Structure 1
Amino acid sequence: MFSKVLVANRGEIAVRVMRACRDLGVRTVAVYSDADKHAGHVRYADEAYNIGPARAADSYLDHDAVLEAGREAGADAVHPGYGFLAENAAFARRVEESDLTWIGPSADAMQRLGEKTKARSLMQEADVPVVPGTTEPVDSADEVKAIAEEYGYPVAIKAEGGGGGRGLKVVHSADEVESQLETAQREGEAYFDNSSVYVEKYLEAPRHVEVQILADEHGNVRHLGERDCSLQRRHQKVIEEAPSPALDADLREQIGDAARRGVREAGYTNAGTVEFLVEDGEFYFMEVNTRIQVEHTATEVITGIDVVKWQLRVAAGEELDFDQDDVEFDGHAIEYRINAENAADDFAPATGTLETYDPPGGIGVRIDDAVRQADEIGGDYDSMIAKLIVSAGSREECLARSERALSEFEIEGLQTIIPFHRLMVTDETFRAGEHTTKYLDEELDRERIDQAVERWGSTDAAADEAEADDAESTEREFTVEVNGKRFEVNLEERGAPPIPDVDVGAASGGSGAGTAGAATQPDADGDDEEVIVEADGEQVSAEMQGTILSVEVGEGDEIGAGEVVCVLEAMKMENDVVTERGGTVSQVLIEEGDSVDMGDTLVVIE
């Protein structure tokens, strides 16, 4: 077994991996960006290293920075978690060529299965049914239109390296092709470092069912049953469960066998997930996620198998010690993603301070998180702050227990989708297990979501009476970085006045008090500068923290009400920023790639 593992990720999945390491007596190394200096995964790790600025491309996606941290720490293996570099075959190959061990499938297997067109071809060879579409990437709008004419609209444009709904765009008519193709390519490049896309027929009302697999280097392949991930908003999962309420015993066996057959054909090892679409009693291969999944927890609960621990063991060369017939499914489990989002505002990302963070407990309740009370939740990364996993002997009992657990989950200081979850566990369609991937976006009455948020979504926190006592405390905590490595320093001093938090060794900077007609915003180098804003006209401001993906207007442009002025990426979601009224653009204060804070002025319209 390894002695020290670097976890190339952040948040709850980084802590989840570290806990599995500790169970095996393995030390852990965290990496973190400037935005994550005080993050939970950094606190939990045995040691931690700064790898760059907040922007993921300059930190968590920086191959050289991650590998250098591994060498500096003396780690002997790298676990990528999910997202970021988890499905990046080029990075996996670099790890394989180094002195480190890659905890995941080989780079060759990742290339065969991680790129969706190659995976579709391979599955066809393994006699696994696939959704009709291309087995080669497409480059132009004309190619997409030709495919749509063959199969009929709608079609789906998908990023080859995509997942979680990122890089997936549905096209309903020819006049949408060009813009949707551009967006899918841009998201693929931004999130997966791969702008290549392919096209397939878009199924109108399928179930999303996926099979968890484990495979070792000794030729053993096992599946751990299926999960149903059909409840999605904008193609991103929000609730997952195991087993699927939509499968009978015969279809369950067929899908499990198909998943094993496909990954064996690919020479795949370690953990992975084979995803299928199920419609009218038929199933179609969609993709293979060559990594651990967010929702692996539901499988662990009903099988008693620690998937992450087996990732480590398989990478260390161990053989799976159970046969397929040994895998048993006990009861039912549902995972609720606790996202910092406002469900009543089309699930828009939310930021703020966890003034209250009090998760539920009791039998059948599991919490996976990396946060604690008083943590700041920013907009630089994914909006998920925790996962609530509820289990019981049956689905009905699991839903009843979920009602109790969700009602006990107290979060104040920012909006989350807990009110939405509380609505769903009482929703007749969801309780009956009759929902499809379209249910949330197209069928659920939006007013019911608004009412749930109004009823259960208050973020008003009571004043923290202990704050004054804390201010008088003589114990001070400092974060010190020496050559990029993080150290925690505790200083106890009697009779000293309170001092603000500082980052020792970091250059200080900031802005002074603002004046009327001025705003402090980052320049291209990330430093603050004063931007003068004209007093007259509509100031279109950022409603959330994020990164400018594109600027759609220029100074002097005439635009109408409701037109898009820029595209803002926040927590891995693209958001169109629109103007409330028409007029002439007098100032454009942002450029592509800029980071902005909530309230920053983006564009001024006269």
Structure 2
Amino acid sequence: MFDKVLVANRGEIAVRVMAACEELGVDTVAVYSDADEEGGHVRYADEAYNIGPARAAESYLDHEAVIEAAEEADADAIHPGYGFLAENAEFAGKVEDVEGVTWIGPSAESMELLGEKTKARTVMDEAGVPIVPGTTDPVETAEAVDEFGEEHGYPVAIKAEGGGGGRGMKVVRSDDDVEAELESAKREGEAYFDNDSVYLERYLETPRHVEVQILADEHGNVRHLGERDCSLQRRHQKVIEEGPSPALTDELREEISEAARRGIGETGYTNAGTVEFLVEDDPERGPDELLGTDADFYFLEVNTRIQVEHTVSEELTGIDIVKWQIRVAAGEELDFSQDDVELDGHAIEYRINAESAGEDFEPTTGTVTRYDPPGRIGVRLDDAIRQGDDIGSDYDSLIGKLIVHAGDREECLARSDRALAEFDLAGVQTTIPFHRLMLDDDTFVDGLHTTKYLDGIDRERLAEGTERFGGDDEEASPDSERTLTVTVGGKQFDVRLEGEPVAGGRAASERVTANPSTDGSAGATAGTTESADTGADTTDPVDVDDGDGVVAAEMDGTLIGVRVDVGDAVEAGDTVCSLESMKMENEVTATRTGVVAERFVEKGDSVTAGDPLFRLDTE
């Protein structure tokens, strides 16, 4: 076993890996950027090393800086978590070449083979795993996309080779959109994964996203840990994951799981991984009708790393996947057979993102003014934040994960409702109210949602619903009023309070116990929270109301594309630049017609909300 592991990541996944190391008696090393000096993973680790500025490309994505930190700390292994360098075959290869340092993950060769989507499709096809019609070679030109669309029909998905979580994926619905979407997909692939290569797939209209957790060791053992259903997504990014899938029969579940196990077994893959599939749903089926072996399913991709939602499989099987990652990398053999793997009950993971669901899931920022997460039976929380932490825009919006486990799905949903209602997080808008809305949503509760469901949900209903469950849609004014029930000497009184409500916490049912004051009146105190300075209250794309001709940034972020220059004519609705915030690309558009008189930014510049980007002459 290793003596010391460096975790090349941040946030909750870094802490998750460090906790596994601690239980194995292994010391931990954190790396951090300037923005994360006070981060939760730094607090948790045994030692920590600064590796650069806030910009990920100059810190968490800097190969040499991470390896130098490992050597300086005398670490004998590196665990990448997920995201950042977790699926970077070049980095894995560099670590493998460092004497005395072990890469905790699949080999660089396996990552290159399966991490790049076109190669993975070829391998799976040869192993007899169904694949979605698409290209096996990278696509370079808009003409090639046009030809594919003519042959297979629109819509067409353009997907980055190194992409994941919906990043680097663009959907083309007609030949008019090909050039812009191809450019955007390549740009995102280069910005997020250092790889602008893209490929094409036929875009399925009513799919479910079902994935299978795999563990494999260096002794030829390959095990699957059942499937997870990740169909509830916004902008192709998962929001809620659960297992087992509420839509599959046991026969189809086993067929998909064995296909994943077979495909991985053909490649000599080791360590943890996830094989993702799309399953064609029947839009006419009812909640009591499940998809059987006559349903079509297709290989989507292999994630050559730990997944955000690995927690669901851990709760169902009782197997610590992260510990087994470390043990396998140390040369140990899996000590359980496939027949030993049993799924117990039902588990659901809720991603707690710093986003406003009422504003089309826009990333939000702020300072955590109160943090009191739920607990008790069947409730797990993976996080790295505490009260007083700042939630910025430099990295992904995920700040924690609530995982609920119960005997069956009905009980799991009821337990989830209780846990989410108890989750008291203030100072920054989060997806907690959205999750509570989903537990009041018939389509989700009945398990009939597909990956397209949230795209079609009524925006007004979403905004009203999330406001009802915690005021996520907008900040309350300082002089807004609430009525609470207080108990004084065994009697209940209604007390009117001024101040904003707590986002995500209990509202209508909140109670305060007070002691009688000396003058006989009821004295009650209730804390109020400071308004979250979101710095991100726009939709995607971002429409800018340039009343004085200035096009300003309406969120913190980095310019990843500049479309116009001084002297260019701009029509209302034209995209003037692309702004990346919390790993999401936002197109900034002008709301009026004019000519670019001044340009204040360049590609790669970091901006904060309110910074001027361009000035238009609208005369």
State the TM-score, normalizing by the size of structure 2: 0.85
CA distance in 2, matches of 1:547, 1:96: 32
1:26 aligns with 2:26: yes
Which SS does the other structure have where 1:124 is aligned? helix
Task: Choose from 525, 531, 549 the match for 1:538.
Answer: 549
CA distance in 2, matches of 1:560, 1:136: 37
CA shift digits 1:485-533 (9 cap, x unpaired) = xxxxxxxxxxxxxxxxxxxxxxxxxxxxxxxxxxxxxxxxxxxxxxxxx
Task: Choose from 454, 464, 471 the match for 2:467.
Answer: 454
Displacement after TM superposition at 1:331 (Å):
0.6
CA distance in 2, matches of 1:541, 1:421: 32
Q: Which runs of 5+ in 2 are unaligned?
A: 282-294, 480-545
- AA partner of residue 412 (structure 1): A
Displacement after TM superposition at 1:388 (Å):
0.6
CA distance in 2, matches of 1:14, 1:53: 19
CA distance in 2, matches of 1:417, 1:587: 38
Q: Which runs of 5+ in 1 are unaligned?
A: 464-534
Partner of 2:249: 248
CA distance in 1, matches of 2:476, 2:407: 36
1:382 aligns with 2:396: yes
Asked if structure 1 preserves the Cα contact closer than 8 Å seen for 2:191 and 2:560, the reply is no
Partner of 2:39: 39
Partner of 2:435: 421
Identity %: 70
Partner of 1:348: 362
Partner of 2:147: 146
How do 1:20-169 residues align onto structure 2 when only pairs under 5 Å count? 20-99=20-99, 100-169=101-170
Displacement after TM superposition at 1:65 (Å):
0.5
CA distance in 1, matches of 2:592, 2:375: 49
Partner of 1:212: 213
CA distance in 2, matches of 1:359, 1:543: 31
Partner of 2:298: 284
- AA partner of residue 576 (structure 1): E
Partner of 2:325: 311
Asked if structure 1 preserves the Cα contact closer than 8 Å seen for 2:553 and 2:607, the reply is yes
Partner of 2:577: 566
CA gap of 1:461–1:12, structure 2 versus 1, over 3 A, is farther
Bigger shift: residues 73-82 or 536-545: 536-545
1:547 aligns with 2:561: no
How do 1:454-493 residues align onto structure 2 when only pairs under 5 Å count? 454-455=467-468, 456-457=470-471
Runs of 4+ that moved beyond 4 A: 458-463
Partner of 1:391: 405
Task: Choose from 418, 421, 435 the match for 1:407.
Answer: 421
CA shift digits 1:354-404 (9 cap, x unpaired) = 111111111111110111111001000000111011111110111111111
CA distance in 2, matches of 1:545, 1:225: 40
1:293 aligns with 2:307: yes
CA distance in 1, matches of 2:346, 2:476: 35
Displacement after TM superposition at 1:605 (Å):
2.2
Displacement after TM superposition at 1:461 (Å):
11
Which SS does the other structure have where 2:573 is aligned? coil
CA distance in 1, matches of 2:373, 2:591: 39
Displacement after TM superposition at 1:410 (Å):
1.4
Partner of 1:603: 614
Which SS does the other structure have where 1:371 is aligned? coil
Displacement after TM superposition at 1:460 (Å):
6.1
Displacement after TM superposition at 1:452 (Å):
2.0
Displacement after TM superposition at 1:453 (Å):
2.8
Asked if structure 1 preserves the Cα contact closer than 8 Å seen for 2:211 and 2:276, the reply is yes
Which SS does the other structure have where 1:90 is aligned? helix
CA distance in 2, matches of 1:83, 1:334: 21
Which SS does the other structure have where 1:144 is aligned? helix
Aligned-residue Cα RMSD (Å) equals 1.5
Asked if structure 2 preserves the Cα contact closer than 8 Å seen for 1:413 and 1:461, the reply is no
CA distance in 2, matches of 1:81, 1:407: 30
Displacement after TM superposition at 1:536 (Å):
8.6
Displacement after TM superposition at 1:462 (Å):
9.9
CA shift digits 1:190-245 (9 cap, x unpaired) = 11111111111111110000000000000000000000000000100000001101
- AA partner of residue 183 (structure 2): E
- AA partner of residue 464 (structure 2): Q
CA distance in 2, matches of 1:559, 1:182: 20
Which SS does the other structure have where 1:51 is aligned? strand
Bigger shift: residues 399-408 or 292-301: 399-408
Partner of 2:487: none
CA distance in 2, matches of 1:33, 1:168: 28
CA distance in 1, matches of 2:361, 2:305: 26
- AA partner of residue 462 (structure 2): I
Asked if structure 2 preserves the Cα contact closer than 8 Å seen for 1:213 and 1:223, the reply is yes
- AA partner of residue 36 (structure 1): D
CA shift digits 1:387-441 (9 cap, x unpaired) = 0111111101111111111111112111111111110011000000000000001
CA distance in 1, matches of 2:311, 2:556: 30
Displacement after TM superposition at 1:445 (Å):
1.7
Partner of 1:582: 593
- AA partner of residue 157 (structure 1): I
CA distance in 2, matches of 1:137, 1:67: 31
CA distance in 1, matches of 2:156, 2:587: 22
State the TM-score, normalizing by the size of structure 1: 0.86
Partner of 1:591: 602
Asked if structure 2 preserves the Cα contact closer than 8 Å seen for 1:412 and 1:460, the reply is no
Displacement after TM superposition at 1:586 (Å):
2.2
CA distance in 2, matches of 1:407, 1:427: 16
